[in-house]
Amino acid sequence: MTRPKSRAKARMPAVSSLRILTAALMGLTIAALAAVAALAEDENLIRSHGYSFFGELKYPEDYTHFDYVNPDAPKGGEIVIAQAGTFDSMNPYTRNGRRGALSWMMYESLLGDSPTGAAPADVIGEGYGLLAHTVEYPEDKSWVVFYMRPEARFSDGTPVTAHDVAFSHNLLLDQGLKSYAEAVRKRIPKVEVIDDHTIKFYFADGISRRSLIDQVGGVPVWSKKWFEETGARIDEPRIETSPGSGPYMVHAVDVNRSIVYKRNPDYWGWDLAFNKGRHNFDTIRLEYFADDTAAFEAFKAGAVTYRTESDPKKWASAYDFPSLDKGWVKLEEIPDGTPPAMSGIVFNLRRDILKDKNVRQAIALMFNFDWTNKSLLYDLFAQQRSYSTGTKLEAMGLPEGDELAFLQSLGDVVPEAIYTEEPWVPHESDADRLMTRKNLRQAIRLMSEAGWEVGDDGVMRNAEGTVMRLDFLLNSAGSPTNKAVAENFIANLKQLGIDARLQAVDASQYTKRERDFDYDLVLDAYPALLGTGTGLAQRLGSEAAEYSIFNPAGLASPLVDEIIEASLLTESQAEEDASIMALDRALRYEFIVIPDGYAPDHWAAYWDVFARPDDIPPFSLGVLDFWWYDAQKAEALKAAGALR
């Protein structure tokens, strides 16, 4: 009977202690606020709703939506897109297996992006708060603090906190790609969780501040709780997915057959200006097919409702089926404002046989783009000449002005040829015959200079008698046109005396061999150069060349390294532009890709159940971002028997 009274007495000292502690904490808080105020005064802290390196943002703090979206776009409906090949994992970061398409789309970051392109898609180099509402940093950008939205939730209802952000950052360092982890550790030595919704990243002294705030602001945020409870790793394949905080959730997975994503009706961020007019489909369904031919037949039958065409042969000649004639299917050529990637036949410079640039140039002369474009691509492609084709960053003529000054500042690492020779452009070929004789003669001369001669048996050997053999790796699930292009290139290589072999393998083998760099030649691409950033070192730098999957050529060039390092230290947009122009010139000098061409427009084919804004932004087609389902059109097609 005395225990309740005794218990009450026992609590009294604790209450008194709590009051004392609270008062002390209040004093510390006031002191901390005073210190922050002093810091802000001393360091001229910048606080903003978004970030760009030079501080300019298109959208003000009170923006209501991005200019190009329809803020009143209806929500609903389904879009079905085909995928060729296979998948065995829903972990997009696994180093083994083949990930399912869009398996990263459930996850958000502090500074928002789009799962299929830039967001916003009408500017370059600007990021706006998503999980974070405010970013704060000093003028020297030696650190950054993100203030997070306390209302943010994972799809399982648990809050997204700064602890999750720090966990995700460290998880990528511990289990992510080696090239990524090593680059980030050097630049970002410390992360500090200040409170549940405030996180601070510290940046190393004596390095460029480029891409640092962007880097930490763009890390996908995963649930710390889920990973710790399950013991899952991000470097291993798995079908089970961790909860994301984004507008879509995984609804169903049928391995090698389909993936279904459903819009989350309880998504925490529907009312954000960042999301207005976006993420409009109730369901995104991905249907898998053995190859692109089967995928196209599914589109013709209405089992697939949207297709971005990449095969010029199909675009020019295959869209002649009845549903198109009846107006049930729409075809659009929509201008693409993004410079094309430097795509084509990539040389694997990790192979000794391909380290000599004369050899690479000789091999390239056997690729007849003009004949290929006319005979296989219906003259719909243009050939890349630059890593910044069609932009102000494209190197032209001899270096001059700011670019010349930038190159001269690098010293002896710059070869004389960079100053005296115009940047590389693709060779000309005879469009009416596969082999151009003058190119063959020039190729033989270059190979001879490199120590390779064609014997009486028509086979090319070096002085040790080694036969030149090249293996060209190709994904058999790709378009038949790609295979035809490769086969004709192989035929010309054989005429040069090279034992060239096309190795078309299934999607899973292709992925493994590409990750292992098990090829001499491969169809791949380097992204277009739009600006500087630490990612350039991961893609093009020597340090990661032996293991970076983002550098399929294995380029390791002291010249490129110096340009990247100097580019990161530029202090104005004009200086940055000059450095990127110099990088374009240097990459073309190094010659690591035989360009295969690009289409200047998006080729969009879809059943007439969708709508989109009249003006598409330059840097994203945005089908899964800001297009929407038109229920009235869909009902009309169903009534006509066009769709089920």
Boundary-marking domain end, from 556, 572, 595: 595
Residue 405 has pLDDT above 90, yes or no: yes
Residue 28 has pLDDT above 90, yes or no: no
CATH of the domain at 115: 3.40.190.10
Residues 149 and 208 in one domain: yes
116 alpha carbon, distance to own chain's centre:
9
Phi, psi of 298, deg, nearest 5: -65, -35
Q: What span, in angstroms and rounded, lies between the C-alpha atoms of 577 and 131?
A: 31
**276 residue type, one letter:** K
Cβ neighbours of residue 190 under 8 Å, at least 6 residues apart? 201, 202
C-alpha neighbours within 13 Å on the C-beta side of residue 141: 20
Reduced to 3 states, what is the DSSP secondary structure of residue 628?
A: strand
Residue with tokens 């980030």: 184
List the domain range (segments joined by +) for residue 79.
40-332+605-644
Residues 75 and 96 in one domain: yes
Which residue, among 605, 629, 611, 77, has the nearest Cα to 300 in the 3D structure? 605
Residue 615 lies in a domain: yes
- CA torsion through residues 347, 349, 351, 355, sign: positive
Residues 355 and 276 in one domain: no
* 30 burial via Cβ count (<10 Å: 0-12, 13-18, 19+): exposed
CATH of the domain at 555: 3.10.105.10
Instruction: Calculate mean pLDDT across residues 321-334.
Output: 96
Residue with tokens 């760099």: 517
Percent of the chain with pLDDT over 70: 93
Boundary-marking domain end, from 554, 572, 595: 595
Residue 35 lies in a domain: no
Q: What span, in angstroms and rounded, lies between the C-alpha atoms of 144 and 204?
A: 12
Phi, psi of 608, deg, nearest 5: -80, 65
Residues 457 and 508 in one domain: yes
Residue 490 has pLDDT above 60, yes or no: yes
Residue 3 lies in a domain: no
- Of the pLDDT bands very low, low, confident and very high (cuts 50, 70, 90), residue 43 is low
Q: Which position has the higher pLDDT, 79 or 92?
A: 79
Residues 442 and 404 in one domain: yes
Residue 22 lies in a domain: no
Residues 326 and 348 in one domain: no
pLDDT in tens, 132-163: 999 999 999 999 999 999 999 999 999 999 99
Q: How many structural domains are present in the chain?
A: 2
Beta strand spans in 64-121 (E): 78-84
**4 residue type, one letter:** P
pLDDT in tens, 610-638: 999 999 999 999 999 999 999 999 999 99
Instruction: Calculate mean pLDDT across residues 350-373.
Output: 97
Q: What span, in angstroms and rounded, lies between the C-alpha atoms of 165 and 245?
A: 12
Residue 34 lies in a domain: no
Question: For residue 32, what pLDDT is reported?
Answer: 37
Which residue, among 608, 622, 615, 631, has the nearest Cα to 331 in the 3D structure? 608
pTM of the model: 0.86
Residue 195 has pLDDT above 90, yes or no: yes
Residues 161 and 72 in one domain: yes
CA angle 443, 444, 448 (to 5 degrees): 115
Question: Three-state SS across 349-365?
Answer: CCCHHHCCHHHHHHHHC
pLDDT in tens, 242-286: 999 999 999 999 999 999 999 999 999 999 999 999 999 999 999
Residue 23 lies in a domain: no
Residue 6 has pLDDT above 60, yes or no: no
Reduced to 3 states, what is the DSSP secondary structure of residue 409?
A: coil
Cβ neighbours of residue 573 under 8 Å, at least 6 residues apart? 54
Residues 137 and 66 in one domain: yes
Residue 28 lies in a domain: no
Residue 23 CB coordination number (10 Å): 10
Residues 254 and 190 in one domain: yes
Q: What span, in angstroms and rounded, lies between the C-alpha atoms of 526 and 586?
A: 14
Residue 537 has pLDDT above 70, yes or no: yes
| Lowest model confidence (mean pLDDT) among 12-26, 96-110, 190-204, 563-577 | 12-26
Residues 546 and 578 in one domain: yes
Residues 215 and 284 in one domain: yes
Cβ neighbours of residue 193 under 8 Å, at least 6 residues apart? 162, 163, 165, 166, 199
Percent of the chain with pLDDT over 90: 83
Residue 4 has pLDDT above 50, yes or no: no
Which residue, among 447, 342, 322, has the nearest Cα to 390 in the 3D structure? 342
Q: Which position has the higher pLDDT, 98 or 281?
A: 281
Question: For residue 93, what pLDDT is reported?
Answer: 86
Tokens of 524: 């791949």
CA angle 460, 465, 468 (to 5 degrees): 40
pLDDT in tens, 436-449: 999 999 999 999 99
Q: Which position has the higher pLDDT, 96 or 294?
A: 294
* Mean pLDDT of the residues in the chain: 91
Residues 441 and 565 in one domain: yes
DSSP conformation class of 262: E
Question: For residue 36, what pLDDT is reported?
Answer: 41
Residue 622 lies in a domain: yes
Highest mean pLDDT among 489-498, 508-517, 566-575: 489-498
